[in-house]
Structure 1
Amino acid sequence: MTVGTTTLPLPSGEDATVVVEPPGTEPGAWSGAPSSIVADGHVWLAYRLRLPIGAGRGIANVIARSADGVSFTVVAEVSKDQFGAESLERPALVRTPEGRWRLYVSAATPGTKHWRVELLEAATPEALATAEPVTVLAGDETAGWKDPVLHHDEHGWHLWASVHPLESWDDADRMTTEYATSPDGVHWTRRRTALAPRPGRWDARGVRVSSVQVNGDEITVAYDGRATAGENWEERTGVARGTRLPDGTFSELVAEEHEPVGSPHEPYGLRYLSLVDLPGGGRRIYYEATRADGAHDLRTERV
């Protein structure tokens, strides 16, 4: 398969600005897992707040608005209790072609390693806080689905999600990225494994697509990867590429050979990259990164 050379910017660490501080100063206290879009002349950001295991885990998904892409005002928040979830992970914020707002929420089933994806839909971002959830990616006893990334074009809706095998409790951290399509963004058909771990490489234990950029028939993605179970929650970021197929779907992705980008602070986590084109020109990337104290904050860089 021939892949293109479209550039996808990665964090440099220079001139990074902290957008959201974590809810604590210890490992396991995170703000991050951002999902960013531009609508109505503003940058909109959805992100996850998390406390350590035993202190609450993923407690909320937050939606915020900004005129400059740096200073954000919170407009809505949903808690894990609204979904009967043990924890919430990365949300996906979407504006439909009809102008409706959607938030895809990753919810953990209590007492298990299972995850599912719930959809909230409303006429305004503020109304998402009280929207009724609908399960759109249920998973089953063999696999949990979470962390969706969405793209809409003339061929319909496209989704990449991290999928975790549930046959073994100790191996449930393993993950592939699965690709699915939909006519409406609600009812999904799994198409293929888009990206799989590479034995012996930095992403041997798990891979998760975090950002999708489509340029004509080329697709370029940022993805999170880890080599071991011990690196869970501290993934680093790489790039993979693919192409559009004749039926309008996207192919499997081929990972680039370069080393991943990570935080300068051990254990070097830098993950969940999200990219937007700014209303006035230029681009911004948002991502979650490990701090010197072990907590994670949500950062942005202009690129």
Structure 2
Amino acid sequence: MRLLPVEDPPPEHRLRLDEQHRLLAIVKEVFAELVREEPPPHGSTVLTAGLARAHFGQRASMEGLPLPGSAPAAVVVPAPGRGDGYWAGASSVVHDGAGGYAAGYRVRNGHDGHDQTVLARSADGERFETVAVLERERFGARWMQRPALVRTGDGWRLFVCCGAPESKRWWIETLQSPDLEGFATAASRRTFPDEAAYGVKDPVVRLVDGTWHAWICCHPLDVPGAEDRMFTGWATSPDGWDWTWRGTVLRGRPGAWDARGARLTTFLPDGRAGYDGRATAEENWFERTAVATPTGDGRFAALPDSPVVDARYLDVLALPDGGVRIYYEARLPDLSHELRTELIR
């Protein structure tokens, strides 16, 4: 499977107008597919909306834009330690089909420590119980980043993000299990392999009407020392195992706050997307979050008047009552990161 270049995709990969409309419909259908049952009442909070907005330094939401700082926040997973590189976050949270929540997220135990992918379950969307921990050594990886968790008709798929020990290459492994606990021992298959030209990581994966869709953060490796550059590619699959790249769908803007790259992280109920970006290489790990809007041909562009908030890996989950629960990775003053959630009505 060869990754399409950053430039426009060739004609055979461009979408017809009816396919463009279909993609937007798919994004909207994702939320209908994910909504299952009303979750239990919202629990205790640790950060008020006013304090959150003060922390983010600006108005954090607009009508229809569920961004961090829109509501009181609760800590889902605290930072695993103090200081730079101790991160909990990069979540993928879905309804479990039984009124609760299932989550996959990444834990980094210091930049010289080891990474883990954690699977957890919750009744209320805030208090999660760990059910499985996947260690980096299992995949021959030095690093791990954001996983993607998908509920299927007969169980679960988990897409695990792995970084190579001695290079800047990244790849994605896929596991299948009838339940979350089974991922502790499930076999894996490398579905998005590491390539010389690009590192692939941080997948957002959806299954809609029998077709799998993946939005992948791609890092060009052609310039040594500049591997932090990023753009978002889109791929589809009939079975979630063998994928076809459809093209580049989101990139940064020269001279803007997201000039160094753009990583799609989630979809909003109206078909727009949340994404991470940064202006420079020095802002690596200091990404900010904003909103992008569909532009046709399956692509997205930054929403011109979107707020830009100081958080990353936004994850939006639709609720049956029309509200949403958001998850995101928040940086603390000591540069550690924690996973937070907000319930937005």
TM over 0.5: yes
1:147 equivalent in alignment to 2:194: no
1:187 equivalent in alignment to 2:242: yes
- Structure 2 residue runs of 5 or longer lacking an equivalent are 1-16, 25-61
SS at match of 1:170: coil
1:277 equivalent in alignment to 2:332: no
Count matched residues: 286
Aligned mates of 1:121, 1:153 — CA distance in 2: 18
Aligned mates of 1:281, 1:214 — CA distance in 2: 9
Structure 1 match to 2:255: 200
- Structure 1 residue runs of 5 or longer lacking an equivalent are 246-250, 264-269
SS at match of 2:172: strand
Aligned mates of 1:13, 1:83 — CA distance in 2: 38
- Asked if structure 1 preserves the Cα contact closer than 8 Å seen for 2:158 and 2:174, the reply is yes
Bigger mean CA deviation after superposition, 280-289 or 231-240: 280-289
- Asked if structure 2 preserves the Cα contact closer than 8 Å seen for 1:32 and 1:298, the reply is yes
Matching residue within 30, 46, 57 for 2:104: 46
Structure 1 match to 2:303: 256
Superposed CA offset, 1:23-56 (max 9, x none)? 1110111000011100221111111000222233
Q: CA deviation at 1:99?
A: 2.6
1:209 equivalent in alignment to 2:261: no
1:115 equivalent in alignment to 2:115: no
- Percent identical among aligned pairs is 44
> TM-score when scaled to structure 1?
0.89
- Asked if structure 1 preserves the Cα contact closer than 8 Å seen for 2:295 and 2:301, the reply is no
- Asked if structure 2 preserves the Cα contact closer than 8 Å seen for 1:8 and 1:222, the reply is no
Aligned mates of 1:229, 1:243 — CA distance in 2: 27
Structure 2 match to 1:102: 157
Going by fraction, where is helix more abundant, 1 or 2? 2
Aligned mates of 1:289, 1:239 — CA distance in 2: 17
Q: CA deviation at 1:13?
A: 6.0
Q: CA deviation at 1:293?
A: 1.6
1:223 equivalent in alignment to 2:264: no
CA-based RMSD of the aligned residues comes to 2.2
- Asked if structure 2 preserves the Cα contact closer than 8 Å seen for 1:11 and 1:261, the reply is no
Structure 1 match to 2:84: 27
- Asked if structure 2 preserves the Cα contact closer than 8 Å seen for 1:117 and 1:137, the reply is yes
- Asked if structure 2 preserves the Cα contact closer than 8 Å seen for 1:8 and 1:221, the reply is no
The structure that has the greater radius of gyration is: 2
